[in-house]
Structure 1
Amino acid sequence: KESINQSIIMTSKFYFHFNSEPNFTAVVKWNGSLDVTVGDSLADFLVRFNDKHGAQRSLSSSEVGLSNSPVLTRSQRILESSPLSSLSDRQDVYVVLDDSPRTAKQTTNSRSSSVKKPEVEEKKDPAVQAEITKAFDQAKKFEAKNHIAKARMLILHLLEMDPNHGAALELIGRMDLQRGSYEDALTHLHKAEGVATKRRKLFGMLGETYYRLGELPSAIKHFQNALKHTKSEKRKDDIEAWIARVKYEQYGSQEAAIRIYEQIFNRNQSHPQALIGYCMAAADRGQGKESIPHLLKAIVSAQQQKSDKETVKRIGLHFASVIDRSSGVRDVLESLGDAATAVSSISFLSTVAKNHGAIKASVGFLVHCANLEPFNRSIALNLIHNYEVLADYNGCFAQCKQFLSRNSSASVAGLGASQISAIIDSIDLKQDTIFKSDQRWEKLDDSVKTEDQIINPNKPPKPCPYSNTELDLFAIYITIVKIFYVTGCLHPITKLINLMHKVKSDYDIHLTSIRNEHAYYSCIAHLMNNVTEKWMNGDQKPTDFKPLYFCGDSHSLPPAYQTVMMNDEPRILIPKLVTGLKCWHMRRESKFFPSMNFDNVLATIPKGSEVIFNFGEIDCRESLIICVEKGRYANLDEAMNVVIGIYMGRLKQLITRRKLAIYVHPVAPVLDITRKNVVKFNRILEREVSKIPELKWLDFDNRMTLNNQKLFNYVYALDGTHLSPRYVTLIEAALKKCE
């Protein structure tokens, strides 16, 4: 704070050169004013040139252009409309004779210059005007609900009736900017600029649009216009922060950008965009640790001021990059001082770190919280899940055992932590798997149901009577079942399920805060009937089978520990669970924790292995339709092609880097509500797999459905969401076709 408040905004110097005869150089000084353009300085230069050399040669602005080099080219041209702050301190600017400066200036800003003021129109028919008003009002309601596609459709219909409706043009321009259609945004915003009476917001949106397109001089020009038309001090700070960002990130004027950030701080020391910009500049100068107090303030300010998603993400990603090192957590805790004992605050920082890729740092924050509050069940549960993201199941299990040991008197519905500890304390995850142990299995009680409420709608669940803390404890219990199943430590699971089923009972736990944990537990409880029958009698041993890895979301659980013949060789399917991963998360730039979980799980698969990949169900169930509604894609086909392209790109990378032999599994069409989309997704997925010779498609998606793929084949039903292990015969047949 002191370094910001004590900073001195120094005057910058720029050197303007005219290298033709007669040579002339002038020093132009800038005192930090944001209103001065490069053209203003050129005018000053020309006055001084003509004063000295006017008798020999006189220059006017119409016959010269400005350049970053002695030769005037399109790429080196400096626009006169650019703010002087866009130049770097002590930069050389060349004043070069130009035969066609007028044409160049016109083409540079062709989008905005093409906008014409509308002619005066006749008064509209009242019925037409009523329809326009109704369409606009409905479009605003759709936009408020994030149904951008519907809102755009209404606005486009409105603009057919009234092409110069300023508010409608501004609305569709804003929506185009939000959905990433920047050329469309420019078209609509520039037209709105020509007809709107209030253009303050338009200039700001135009500035951001040009920034997204990489057209930086135009971006700064429109931000400058927005600044001139803005009275709100807060809005001025927002715009200046944008100008500084453009300068720093892409324009090369880093010192000028820092000065702008410091000017904002002098007025508002809690401005999120200025704080993150300043912190990023500090990190670039090797002062990331020193900037942590400002970074923490940015995180808090963004939350308190309800900043836009892009700002929150930008802050989160930078925070993750600063703390994702051995001393990162310690540096943050030291910076917090006495506040480092506030568990809720540290837990929040853990979530920020996790959501932006710094998983180990997130674990570190939660370990600190757990030491402060060893009885806090929510902290313990989150810590266990973070170890899952790291694919560190030994760490998961150790945390489970430690928490239950510390809280031996805790219980939910009469099931005590000490009872669970008595079963798990002697277990070694590495030694007690079905591959290394001959432990005795316990049969599932007859009272354990094998039918799901989705399949039996006539038996509605009862309201859950448990408190949040009781639910968190039960979530820890049932997560132990998940850990055992994923790691192949199967023999204790039936004993645990027999105990936990009494807690689960017929309650609607799937509607509570632990619905995700419950979903995994419920699926595994259904599967254990089949798994125990297969391995309990000891006629076969898993060590007799070579592993065939199955990498997927929760749909990797049903085929786990089943066996197939592949190339005349018996194989056992080994689950490699990646929780919550969408194809969209496989983007190279993604830092969301499912992406990190995917990387960590892949690291546990030996190079050169044969792997079945099964992803895309969550995209079909959650993301694709929403993205179309938000207008990010024109239709479902486009959305599916994009995410499948991401999926295929990642698989090709794994073939090259990890030498994996990859089989692509179709998405399971179990859910009625998504089946139509799943069938379409599988058709596109099969087509794209066929284009990559190294990939093999498991061709059985039509066997999972009936009636021309309109109905699910309930022969393969399990719990209303997942396939039964019976479907593994389809995998085996598809593998045979791939030989």
Structure 2
Amino acid sequence: RPTPPALERDSMRFYVHSEEEPSFALPVQWDDADTRPVEALLQLFLAAYAAKGGKRSAAQIALSSSDGRLLAPKARVLAVVEDGGDVFAAVRPSGAAASASASASAKAPARSAAPAADAKGAEAEALQKVLAPYLDAAQKAWDNRGYRQAKEIYGELITVHPKLPIALRRLGEIELFCERADPAVGWLLKASRAAPKDAEVRGLLGEAYALQGEPEEAQEAFEIALELTKGKKGKKKARVALGRALFMDPRPGKRAAGGQMLTSILHEDMEDDVALQAYGEACIELNQSEDALKIFLRMIVAKSTDKQTRKLLARALMSPDGLTQLEEQLPDSTGSAAALAFLATVVKDHSGISQSIALYGRAVRICPDSASYALNLVHTAELRFDHAAALRPLYAFCAANPSLAVGDLTCATFAAALPDLASLPSL
């Protein structure tokens, strides 16, 4: 999978310090998959130290933790060094003292020692206090839909705290909003590792995998999200997400399983918007435009600004017999003109230009005195660079409303000054 290299693998960061002249601190980023021992870390440090003018050798120094314990040369770095911690280059002791110290280091890893755990807890609490103003600012930007600003702040936060769950999650969500599947998967994988019990993060990861075209991974993420989710309402939402993923899965048998799951959920509560939306989307996929339109025309009344509802309604209207089905469900009448104009706007926003023209045309036929409907029809026809088609509603409006005037200029006077439409050259 073409995930950006920086997001493929977790790693920890720490420093190796030398307090003797020349004093030196080496920043180290150590991959979680790196199983090399402490002696390899020492060689890495000595090479960097020599480049700074230091003259120490492995025979003279050893590495120790912040509490002075020597790190056993054969112990894995991952077992004895803390993420975000500090390692020190110390004078190597001799004899039994060195052996006892190294043995203690190997048997009592930094990650399991009670004093180290207490220190880590205190350090985490202090870090949380430092980060609090930045987290508040990022959340405020998020709540106000200032996603660019939120991304900048969360991006800065992870340079300080690389495994901060909320920052990793939000960065993934922003990429998901923008439909950038690869970086969304990368960030949300990191977020799921940082917070393995967070059901919402797993659900978001499932959405990112689905967007990336990885149905198997999406299904696995949604199944884990369902297992982790608590509460009846949350469980239902997770089941819908899993059912939808199964329905969209091209592998044999998955669509049928997903369809059965969605149907079962909908039968439990026919008023549930989440289940209705997923079921309506399945109807679109099966070219069942009649059922899809019934669902989304009903939903759009209460959710007129909801992006996903508008998108799916537009897809239903743009299906092969979408406009035919709409005429049956919404026949021409004085009261339907406004609804038709609204639907024309919705479908135009999702590139359904021909469908939008047809819907504005119906609205104009119902209300020939509406300048708003006529102008929208003109402007929508212009999007197809069909200027003759764009002019016809203008001529028709003037003919239908001869006495309508702006100041002393009536539509009749204006129309008389226009050339005959049929005589105009092809535009």
Which whole-Å deviations, capped at 9, do the CAs of 1:178-226 have from their partners, x for residues lacking one?
3445444444434433443861211111111222233322211221222
Residue equivalent to 1:313: 311
Question: Structure 1 residue 277 and structure 2 residue 281: aligned?
Answer: yes
| TM-superposed deviation, 1:298 | 1.6
Question: Structure 1 residue 380 and structure 2 residue 374: aligned?
Answer: yes
Which whole-Å deviations, capped at 9, do the CAs of 1:120-147 have from their partners, x for residues lacking one?
4242388754431111112223334444
Question: Structure 1 residue 251 and structure 2 residue 260: aligned?
Answer: no
Which whole-Å deviations, capped at 9, do the CAs of 1:651-684 have from their partners, x for residues lacking one?
xxxxxxxxxxxxxxxxxxxxxxxxxxxxxxxxxx
Which has more helix, going by share of residues?
A: 2
**Structure 1 unpaired stretches of 5+:** 1-108, 434-485, 488-739
Say if 1:407 and 1:263 are closer, same or farther in 2 by CA, change over 3 A. Answer: same
Residue equivalent to 2:295: 297
Which whole-Å deviations, capped at 9, do the CAs of 1:698-719 have from their partners, x for residues lacking one?
xxxxxxxxxxxxxxxxxxxxxx
**SS in structure 2 of the partner of residue 251 of structure 1:** coil
Q: Is the CA contact 1:159–1:165 (under 8 Å) kept in the aligned structure 2?
A: yes
Find 2:405's aligned residue among 408, 411, 414.
411
Find 1:422's aligned residue among 406, 416, 421.
416
Partners of 2:339 and 2:202 lie apart in 1 by 38
Q: Is the CA contact 2:280–2:295 (under 8 Å) kept in the aligned structure 1?
A: no
Partners of 1:390 and 1:182 lie apart in 2 by 31
Correspondence list, 1:493-532, <5 A = none
Correspondence list, 1:624-703, <5 A = none
Letter in 2 for 1:349: L
Q: Is the CA contact 1:320–1:358 (under 8 Å) kept in the aligned structure 2?
A: yes
In the superposition, the TM-score normalised over structure 1's length comes to 0.38
Correspondence list, 1:597-608, <5 A = none
**SS in structure 1 of the partner of residue 402 of structure 2:** coil
Residue equivalent to 1:202: 201
Partners of 2:189 and 2:247 lie apart in 1 by 26
Partners of 1:197 and 1:254 lie apart in 2 by 29
Say if 1:256 and 1:178 are closer, same or farther in 2 by CA, change over 3 A. Answer: same
| TM-superposed deviation, 1:354 | 2.6
Q: Is the CA contact 1:370–1:380 (under 8 Å) kept in the aligned structure 2?
A: yes
Residue equivalent to 1:264: 265
Question: Structure 1 residue 431 and structure 2 residue 423: aligned?
Answer: yes
Residue equivalent to 1:371: 365
Q: When the two structures are aligned, how many residues end up with a matched partner? A: 313
Partners of 2:365 and 2:195 lie apart in 1 by 59
Letter in 2 for 1:428: D
Which whole-Å deviations, capped at 9, do the CAs of 1:61-117 have from their partners, x for residues lacking one?
xxxxxxxxxxxxxxxxxxxxxxxxxxxxxxxxxxxxxxxxxxxxxxxx998xx7999
| TM-superposed deviation, 1:306 | 6.3
Which whole-Å deviations, capped at 9, do the CAs of 1:334-358 have from their partners, x for residues lacking one?
1335878521111122223333343
**SS in structure 1 of the partner of residue 122 of structure 2:** coil
Partners of 2:255 and 2:124 lie apart in 1 by 55
Letter in 2 for 1:276: G
Correspondence list, 1:31-180, <5 A = 120=117, 121-124=120-123, 128-180=127-179
Residue equivalent to 1:7: none
Question: Structure 1 residue 349 and structure 2 residue 343: aligned?
Answer: yes
Partners of 1:383 and 1:214 lie apart in 2 by 38
| TM-superposed deviation, 1:409 | 1.7
Partners of 1:432 and 1:281 lie apart in 2 by 44
Letter in 1 for 2:169: E
Letter in 2 for 1:279: C
What is the root-mean-square deviation of aligned Cα atoms in Å? Answer: 3.5
Q: Is the CA contact 2:403–2:410 (under 8 Å) kept in the aligned structure 1?
A: yes
Letter in 1 for 2:134: A
Q: Is the CA contact 1:299–1:316 (under 8 Å) kept in the aligned structure 2?
A: no
Correspondence list, 1:511-590, <5 A = none
Say if 1:214 and 1:365 are closer, same or farther in 2 by CA, change over 3 A. Answer: closer
Partners of 1:186 and 1:237 lie apart in 2 by 24
Say if 1:428 and 1:222 are closer, same or farther in 2 by CA, change over 3 A. Answer: same
| TM-superposed deviation, 1:312 | 3.4
| TM-superposed deviation, 1:407 | 1.3
Letter in 2 for 1:258: G
Say if 1:184 and 1:431 are closer, same or farther in 2 by CA, change over 3 A. Answer: closer
Partners of 2:304 and 2:394 lie apart in 1 by 36
Correspondence list, 1:332-343, <5 A = 332-336=326-330, 341-343=335-337
Partners of 1:311 and 1:432 lie apart in 2 by 42
Say if 1:302 and 1:197 are closer, same or farther in 2 by CA, change over 3 A. Answer: farther
Which structure ranks higher in relative contact order (CA pairs < 8 Å, sequence separation ≥ 6)?
1
Partners of 1:232 and 1:409 lie apart in 2 by 64
Partners of 1:413 and 1:235 lie apart in 2 by 61
**SS in structure 2 of the partner of residue 375 of structure 1:** coil
Say if 1:244 and 1:166 are closer, same or farther in 2 by CA, change over 3 A. Answer: same
Q: Is the CA contact 2:277–2:295 (under 8 Å) kept in the aligned structure 1?
A: no
Letter in 1 for 2:168: L
Q: Is the CA contact 2:303–2:309 (under 8 Å) kept in the aligned structure 1?
A: no
Say if 1:181 and 1:356 are closer, same or farther in 2 by CA, change over 3 A. Answer: closer
Q: Percent identity?
A: 24
Q: Is the CA contact 1:375–1:406 (under 8 Å) kept in the aligned structure 2?
A: yes
| TM-superposed deviation, 1:395 | 2.8
Correspondence list, 1:462-477, <5 A = none
